[in-house]
């Protein structure tokens, strides 16, 4: 990246060596696989492994080494991560040698030298099976493994089972005894069907029992929290200074509850994932959540979809997102940002060079907002893999800007522009932009007033791509002849052509009202005019 780019100017001037990226971790795994399967002075002495065993061992070693180094880094959070990297490398080397000496991992055997670690489960989960109430006696039986001396449970999931007051009192001392080892806690959907007063008491019991745990992940989704529920978790939330993942989805979080969230989680400097889907936050609530986002400079994955946010809240949230220059995944679907919110968002996106997934469907962006965002992504996010902008009232007038952006994204795997009004002109421009995308596997251009020419070129563009999975062009105005042509194009791979049962071959848009005939000649003429179309930037 150019040192003078917007992204580099907005990032803190410091080098963080920990944690390593996922690609770096995979490179290390690949190297260990190679070491375990090829001849060397070590394998000549101890023997090589099959590729399958080597892969299993390498993944296990890397995961254990990463966990050890990450725990070390948590104790020294203000360092640059150099000591964690050194420990990570030492642990990998040590465990690799143990494997070579005969401590191989098989499907029914853990690494011999790690029996004291691997003999216990680390994930305790009671969420499987039917959704049901849980009372004291059942809680005693279900939670018995958590009372075993020396257990290694670091992750618990109590979702899908509704705790009553007596069951919560059974869980309280057990959870308190695990404070030093718990890292991931899932309390989603754990008071369903309980009266409000009882549910709030249960939440308070769990919160106080878990107060002071050093959690990396906390999930409180699907609990209809509201402001009272958020405040019932006060003790737990206030104590979480190291939290990396927070999930508050489908919690009935209003403006007041959003303010409570912002108030009770004052430290989110380490937060990487924040999911806030399906709440009733509104504009004022969005302003409160924006404060949380501003305090989360390391945020990588932000979801704030279906939260009733309008233009004012969209602008506030977008401005806050401008501070999160490490963002990789953004999901703002199903809000009402409008043009103003879209333009504000485009300015924030110009600072996000690491984006891989962007979900901006049903934001009421219209052409102006969509073009602003497209132009911004073209300059800032060349590595984008998923782009969704369905249902934004985008017409063919914005297609050139979208096509220019799409053409620049050579790693694109999924494109969704459904429920717009791109027509044949837009479909043909988008098709040409997708021509060189070898990793593309899904395109949704359904319900876009597309007719024969646009459908034909879309089909021809994607049918030859290796690994392509689905083209959805349903709900358009493709003639019977056009349908036959498209089906013929996919005759060798019919499964990757989506259903066409909602296509309307008689459909007409406003542009066709004054035209005679079935319009097929006009479509062919349009295809001819756009044959040599070049995709370029649009201001």
Q: What domains are there in the chain, each with its CATH number?
A: 22-102 (1.10.246.200), 140-496 (3.80.10.10)
The pTM assigned to this predicted structure is 0.75
CB atoms within 10 A of CB 452: 27
- C-alpha 364/C-alpha 386 separation (Å) is 19
CB atoms within 10 A of CB 196: 12
Length of the chain equals 539
Beta carbons of 407 and 535 less than 8 angstroms apart: yes
CA torsion through residues 414, 417, 423, 429, sign? negative
Contact partners, residue 58, CB within 8 Å, separation at least 6: 29, 30, 32, 33, 36
Task: Measure CA 141 to chain center.
Answer: 36
Identify the three-state secondary structure at position 233. Answer: coil
Q: Is 247 exposed, middle or buried (0-12, 13-18, 19+ CB in 10 A)?
A: buried
Dihedral (Cα; 185, 306, 222, 159), 10-degree rounding? -50
First to last CA, the chain: 24
- C-alpha 289/C-alpha 260 separation (Å) is 10
pLDDT for 114 equals: 39
- C-alpha 386/C-alpha 217 separation (Å) is 25
DSSP 8-state secondary structure symbol assigned to residue 109: B
CA torsion through residues 298, 301, 307, 312, sign? positive
Identify the three-state secondary structure at position 185. Answer: strand
pLDDT string in tens for the chain (539-residue length)? 444 444 444 444 456 677 887 778 888 888 888 888 887 766 565 667 777 778 888 888 888 888 888 777 776 665 677 788 888 888 888 888 777 766 555 444 344 333 333 334 799 999 987 889 999 999 999 999 999 998 999 999 999 999 999 999 999 999 999 999 999 999 999 999 999 999 999 999 999 999 999 999 999 999 999 999 999 999 999 999 999 999 999 999 999 999 999 999 978 999 999 999 999 999 999 999 999 999 999 999 999 999 999 999 999 999 999 999 999 999 999 999 999 999 999 999 999 999 999 999 999 999 999 999 999 999 999 899 999 999 999 999 999 999 999 999 999 999 999 999 999 999 999 999 999 999 999 999 999 999 999 999 999 999 999 999 999 999 999 999 999 999 999 999 999 999 999 999 988 644 444 343 344 444 444 444 444 444 444 44
């Amino acid at each position: 990246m150019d040192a003078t780019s917007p992204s580099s100017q907005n990032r803190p001037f410091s080098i963080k060596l920990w944690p390593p990226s996922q690609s770096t971790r995979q490179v290390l795994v690949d190297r260990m696989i190679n070491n375990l399967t090829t001849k060397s002075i070590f394998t000549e002495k101890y023997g090589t492994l099959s590729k399958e065993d080597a892969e299993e061992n390498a993944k296990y070693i890397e995961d254990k080494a990463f966990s050890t180094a990450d725990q070390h880094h948590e104790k020294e959070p203000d360092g640059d991560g150099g000591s964690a990297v050194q420990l990570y490398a030492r642990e990998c080397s040590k465990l690799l040698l143990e494997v070579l000496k005969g401590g191989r991992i098989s499907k029914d055997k853990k690494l011999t030298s790690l029996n004291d670690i691997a003999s216990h489960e680390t994930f305790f989960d009671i969420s499987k099976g039917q959704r049901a109430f849980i009372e004291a006696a059942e809680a005693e039986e279900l939670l018995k493994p958590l009372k075993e001396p020396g257990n290694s449970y670091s992750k618990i999931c109590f979702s899908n089972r509704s705790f009553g007051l007596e069951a919560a009192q059974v869980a309280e001392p057990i959870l308190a005894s695990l404070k030093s080892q718990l890292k991931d806690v899932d309390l989603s959907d754990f008071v369903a069907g309980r009266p409000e007063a009882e549910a709030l008491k249960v939440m308070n019991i769990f919160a106080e029992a878990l107060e002071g745990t050093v959690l990396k992940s906390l999930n409180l989704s699907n609990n209809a929290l509201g402001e009272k529920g958020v405040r019932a978790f006060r003790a737990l939330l206030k104590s979480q200074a190291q939290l990396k993942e927070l999930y508050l989805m489908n919690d009935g979080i209003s403006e007041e509850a959003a303010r409570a969230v912002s108030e009770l989680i004052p430290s989110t400097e380490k937060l990487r994932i924040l999911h806030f889907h399906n709440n009733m936050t509104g504009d004022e609530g969005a302003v409160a959540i924006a404060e949380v986002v501003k305090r989360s400079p390391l945020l990588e994955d932000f979801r704030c979809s279906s939260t009733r946010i309008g233009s004012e809240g969209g602008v506030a949230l977008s401005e806050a997102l401008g501070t999160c220059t490490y963002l990789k995944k953004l999901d703002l679907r199903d809000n009402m940002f409008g043009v103003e919110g879209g333009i504000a968002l485009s300015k924030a996106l110009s600072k996000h060079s690491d984006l891989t997934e962007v979900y901006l469907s049903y934001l009421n962006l219209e052409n102006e907002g969509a073009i602003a965002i497209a132009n911004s992504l073209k300059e800032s996010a060349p590595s984008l893999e998923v782009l969704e902008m369905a249902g934004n009232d985008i017409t063919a007038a914005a297609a050139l800007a979208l096509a220019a952006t799409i053409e620049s994204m050579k790693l694109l795997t999924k494109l969704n522009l459904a429920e717009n009004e791109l027509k044949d002109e837009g479909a043909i421009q988008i098709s040409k932009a997708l021509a060189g995308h070898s990793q593309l596997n899904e395109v949704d251009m359904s319900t876009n007033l597309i007719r024969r020419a646009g459908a034909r070129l879309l089909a021809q563009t994607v049918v030859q791509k290796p690994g392509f999975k689905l083209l959805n062009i349903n709900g358009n105005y493709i003639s019977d002849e056009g349908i036959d042509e498209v089906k013929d194009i996919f005759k060798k791979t019919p499964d990757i052509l989506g259903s066409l049962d909602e296509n309307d071959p008689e459909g007409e848009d406003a542009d066709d009202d004054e035209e005679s005939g079935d319009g097929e000649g006009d479509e062919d003429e349009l295809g001819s005019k756009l044959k040599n179309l070049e995709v370029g930037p649009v201001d």
